[in-house]
Amino acid sequence: MPTVGGRVGGRAAEWAATEEQQLPTYEAAIERVGIGEGTRVLEVGCGSGVFLRAAADRGARVTGLDASAALLELARARAPGADLRLGDLQFLPFEGDAFDVVAGFNSFFFASDMVAALREAGRVAVPGGTVVIQVWGRHGTCDLDVIKPVVRPFFPGYDPNAPPPPDLAEPGALEGLAGAAGLAPRDTFDLAWAFAYEDDGALTRSLLAAGGVGDAAGEREPEVRAALLDVLTPFRTAEGGYRLENTWHFLVATA
């Protein structure tokens, strides 16, 4: 069922405030798979609709699904023509063979069973259609990695003794999951860009909203905020803001 990513809840606007910074990711996917006039596109985990808007601006017919009603409200304003659904990306409320492209940006890994979620993506794509899977870049290539030990204890079901999550950007990792889901890997690439925050407030508002961490922290929120600022000190700019270089990993597969 909906996981951490669906818990943005009351802080949706704070989370979405920096979402447009992800545009390089969306533009890269649009170019790479040739989304254009009339392409039927589904984004699973569509959040506040930045990708949907970019695809619609190219003439695509866009549909989005997300676990957060609050984010869908923002998506409705950003991409007014989109068909938007509340739901879990592992259980898609669509007929088979309905989309030319199904895309998930930092979302497929929220599924309780990622292979099942990818199989669903393949089911709703036309035969020969495209599934775009984007995840974090390899460990050590994302400045944001340093926040994980700070925020993870506030994720639902957190187990301090669990092994660290697998590096999905390792060569072959996504290919294996896609193959197990019946998809045929056809293209892989990486993209690097930087998140920029103008000051401590902008940084912590965004990071505490992501995954519902601030709400889950409750009265410990000031402590979590201080810990975030501490681990991110190396990324402070001379102007008092922050610049976080991240690499993102993509697999394009055929349904």
Compare residues 27 and 236 and give the one whose CB is closer to ligand SAM.
Answer: 27
- When binding is defined by CB under 6 A, the residue of 33, 56, 67, 169 that contacts ligand SAM is 67
b/e sequence 165-201, b meaning 16+ C-beta within 10 Å: eeebbeeebbbebbeebebebeebeebebebebeebe
Compare residues 63 and 68 and give the one whose CB is closer to ligand SAM.
Answer: 68
CA distances from 108 to 155, 168, 181 (A): 17, 11, 12
Compute the least distance from the CB of residue 44 to ligand SAM, in Å: 6
Q: State the burial class of residue 78 (Cβ atoms within 10 Å of its Cβ: 0-12, 13-18, 19+).
A: buried
Compare residues 191 and 236 and give the one whose CB is closer to ligand SAM.
Answer: 191
For residue 14, state whether it binds ligand SAM (rule: CB under 6 A): no
CA distances from 30 to 25, 131, 241 (A): 9, 12, 30
Distance CA 230, CA 234 (A): 9
Compare residues 70 and 202 and give the one whose CB is closer to ligand SAM.
Answer: 70
For residue 71, state whether it binds ligand SAM (rule: CB under 6 A): yes
* Sites for ligand SAM among residues 106-165 (CB under 6 A): 106-107, 110-111
Site size toward ligand SAM, by CB under 6 A: 24
Q: Which range, of 3-11, 33-41, 125-133, 197-205, touches ligand SAM by CB under 6 A?
A: 3-11
103 and 132 Cβ atoms separated by less than 8 Å: yes
Compute the least distance from the CB of residue 114 to ligand SAM, in Å: 10
CA distances from 1 to 94, 209, 212, 234 (A): 17, 20, 16, 36
Compare residues 144 and 236 and give the one whose CB is closer to ligand SAM.
Answer: 144
- When binding is defined by CB under 6 A, the residue of 66, 100, 120, 175 that contacts ligand SAM is 66
Closest CA to 46 of 27, 30, 62, 60: 62
- When binding is defined by CB under 6 A, the residue of 18, 33, 39, 47 that contacts ligand SAM is 47
For residue 21, state whether it binds ligand SAM (rule: CB under 6 A): no
Compare residues 2 and 129 and give the one whose CB is closer to ligand SAM.
Answer: 2
Compute the least distance from the CB of residue 58 to ligand SAM, in Å: 15
| 57 Cβ contact list (under 8 Å, min separation 6) | none
- When binding is defined by CB under 6 A, the residue of 94, 99, 105, 136 that contacts ligand SAM is 105
| Paired strand residues for 248 | 136, 191
Closest CA to 89 of 147, 144, 133, 137: 133
Interacting residues with ligand SAM (CB under 6 A) = 2-3, 5-6, 8, 19, 45-51, 66-68, 71, 88-89, 105-107, 110-111
